[in-house]
Amino acid sequence: MDALAATTIEMFTTRRLRRIVARGPRCPDCAGPLVFGEGCHVCPVCGFSACERAAG
């Protein structure tokens, strides 16, 4: 991969991550983005986890 292609990919990835971070919920520990999956909000930056308990 040439330098121009690598720079272009990095630019688009950075823009996408900024949009996700700006719009989504934030981690209470590091203010990073929280990603929801399998009943838990998890921060990929610091590892914070807020799991919801199933009712019943």
Task: Give the residue extent of every domain in the chain.
Answer: 3-51
Pick 42 or 39 by higher pLDDT. Answer: 42
Q: Is the pTM higher than 0.75?
A: no
Q: What is the mean pLDDT of residues 40-51?
A: 89
Q: Is 39 helix (H, G, I), strand (E, B) or coil?
A: coil
**Two tokens, residue 14:** 């950075």
pLDDT level of residue 54 (50, 70, 90 thresholds): very low
Those residues whose C-beta lies under 8 Å from the C-beta of residue 14, and which sit 6 or more positions away, are: none
Those residues whose C-beta lies under 8 Å from the C-beta of residue 43, and which sit 6 or more positions away, are: 27, 29, 30, 32, 33, 34, 35, 49
